[in-house]
C-alpha cells in the first residue's frame, strides 16, 4: 500500500468493493430514477430509487422471497426465472406510483451477455417500464426456465442420484423441475392479476 504525504485513502465503500463512485457520480448528475438490481447468493432484490441529497429514496421494491410467500413460487429464489419475476413485480409497483422511465443500475456486476441481472430488467420492460439496455443476449427460453427443465429431464434419465441431489429443494417444495416453465406461467399470471 502506498504511503507518504500525498497519498489519499479511498472511501471506505470503495475499499470494500461495494460502491463504484465514478458510476454513482454519473447517476447523481443525471438526476434520473434508477432501477437497481442486486443478486445475492440466495435472493434477487430490485428497487426503484430516486437520488436525494440526504440519501437515496426507495420508491418501489420487490424481493424474490415475496414470490414464495405471496405467489407460491416453488423454484429457486435467485435463478433466471426468479430474477425476471422479481423485476416484473417491482415494475408493476413502480408504475402504480406513476414512474414510467428509469435507468438500469447494475452496481458492481460485470455487464456480461445473458447475465441474470438483465433478466430482471427484461421483466420490468415487459411489465411496461421504459429502461434502455441495448443488446444484452436475453433468450426467451431462459426466462421461463426451459434450460433448467431440459437439464433436469436429461439428468433424471442419466443419473437419478445426482438429479435427486441437485434438485432436492425443488422436490421438497413439491415441484418437479421438468415442470418449471408451466409453474413460471402460473406465478406470472398471479403477479399480473394481483397488480403488484
Please report the pLDDT score of residue 170 as a whole number.
93
Strand partners, 48: 35, 60
- Whether 7 maps to a domain, the answer reads no
Q: What is the share, in percent, of the chain residues with pLDDT greater than 90? A: 72
Q: Please list the residues that pair with 35 across neighbouring strands.
A: 48, 104
Counting Cβ atoms within 10 Å, is residue 92 exposed (0-12), middle (13-18) or buried (19+)? buried
pLDDT at 11: 86
Mean pLDDT score, 1-12: 77
The chain-wide mean pLDDT, for the chain, equals: 91
- Domain membership of residue 32 (yes or no) is yes
DSSP string, 87-108: HHHHHHHHHHTT--B-EEE-TT
Per-residue pLDDT band at 80 (split at 50, 70, 90): very high
Angle between helices 180-194 and 146-158 (to 10 degrees): 150
Return the C-alpha cell found at 63: 424481493
What gap in Å lies between CA 137 and CA 115, rounded to an integer? 8
Per residue in 153-173, pLDDT tens? 999 999 999 999 999 999 999
From the list 141, 142, 117, 120, the residue with the least C-alpha distance to 129 is 120
| Partners of 49 in beta bridges | 34, 58
Domain CATH number, residue 24: 3.30.420.100
- The β-bridge partners of 38 are 45
- 90-143 pLDDT tens trace: 999 999 999 999 999 988 888 888 899 999 999 999 999 999 998 888 999 999
Q: pLDDT band for position 176 (50/70/90)? A: very high
> Is residue 9 a part of any domain in this protein?
no
Domain region containing 37? 17-194
Residue 65 has pLDDT above 90, yes or no: yes
What is the number of structural domains in the chain?
A: 1
**Residue 64 domain flag:** yes
Confidence of residue 4 (pLDDT cuts 50, 70, 90): low
Neighbouring C-alpha atoms within 13 Å toward the C-beta of 125: 13
Model confidence at 2: pLDDT above 70: no
| Cα angle 140-146-148, degrees, rounded to a multiple of 5 | 130
159 occurs within a structural domain: yes
What are residue 90's phi and psi, to 5 degrees? -65, -40
Amino acid at each position: 500500500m502506498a504511503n507518504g504525504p500525498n497519498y489519499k485513502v479511498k472511501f471506505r465503500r470503495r475499499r470494500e468493493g461495494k460502491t463504484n463512485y465514478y458510476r454513482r457520480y454519473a447517476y447523481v448528475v443525471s438526476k434520473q430514477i434508477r432501477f437497481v438490481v442486486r443478486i445475492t447468493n440466495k435472493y434477487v432484490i430490485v428497487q426503484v430509487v430516486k437520488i436525494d441529497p440526504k440519501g437515496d429514496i426507495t420508491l418501489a421494491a420487490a424481493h424474490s422471497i415475496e414470490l414464495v410467500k405471496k405467489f407460491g413460487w416453488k423454484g429457486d429464489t435467485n435463478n433466471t426465472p426468479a430474477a425476471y419475476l422479481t423485476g416484473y413485480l417491482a415494475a408493476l409497483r413502480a408504475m402504480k406510483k406513476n414512474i414510467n422511465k428509469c435507468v438500469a443500475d447494475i452496481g458492481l456486476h460485470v455487464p456480461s451477455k445473458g447475465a441474470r441481472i438483465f433478466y430482471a430488467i427484461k421483466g420490468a420492460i415487459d411489465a411496461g417500464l421504459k429502461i434502455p439496455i441495448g443488446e444484452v443476449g436475453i433468450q426467451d427460453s431462459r426466462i421461463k426456465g426451459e434450460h433448467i427443465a431440459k437439464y433436469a429431464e436429461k439428468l433424471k434419465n442419466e443419473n437419478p442420484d445426482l438429479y435427486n441431489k441437485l434438485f432436492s429443494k425443488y422436490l421438497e417444495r413439491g415441484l418437479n423441475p421438468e415442470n418449471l416453465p408451466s409453474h413460471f406461467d402460473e406465478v406470472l399470471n398471479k403477479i399480473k392479476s394481483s397488480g403488484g
